[in-house]
Amino acid sequence: MQVNNLGEQQSILNKFISELRDVSVQSDRMRFRRNIERIGEVLGYELSKSLSYNNVDIKTPLGTSKCNIPEEDVVICSILRAGLPLHQGLLNYFDGAENTFISAYRHQVSETEFEIKVEYLASPSLDNKILILADPMLATGRSFVNVYNALKSMGTPKEIHLASVIGSEQGIAHIAEHFPEDTKLWIATVDKELNDKGYIVPGLGDAGDLAYGIKLQH
Ligand X SMILES: O=c1cc[nH]c(=O)[nH]1
CB-wise, 43 or 204, nearer to ligand X?
Answer: 204
Task: Indicate left, alpha or beta for 101 from its phi (over 0: left) and psi (-120 to 50: alpha).
Answer: beta
CB-wise, 16 or 144, nearer to ligand PRP?
Answer: 144
Contact, 75 vs 131, CB < 8 A? yes
198 binds ligand PRP (CB under 6 A): yes
Q: Measuring CA to CA, which residue among 89, 215, 98 is closest to residue 164?
A: 89
CB-wise, 51 or 194, nearer to ligand X?
Answer: 194
Min dist CB 178 to ligand PRP, Å, is: 12
Contact, 94 vs 74, CB < 8 A? yes
What character string, x for contact with ligand PRP (CB under 6 A) and - otherwise, covers 161-190?
----------x-------------------
Q: Measuring CA to CA, which residue among 146, 136, 138 is closest to residue 115?
A: 146
Residues 147 and 32: their CA atoms lie apart, in Å, by: 24
Residues 152 and 179: their CA atoms lie apart, in Å, by: 11
Peptide bond into 33 cis (omega under 30): no
Min dist CB 206 to Mg ion, Å, is: 4
What character string, x for contact with ligand PRP (CB under 6 A) and - otherwise, covers 103-122?
-xxx---------x------
Min dist CB 185 to ligand PRP, Å, is: 13
CB-wise, 158 or 192, nearer to ligand PRP?
Answer: 192
| Residue numbers at the binding site for ligand X (CB under 6 A) | 82, 137, 139, 199-200, 203, 206-208
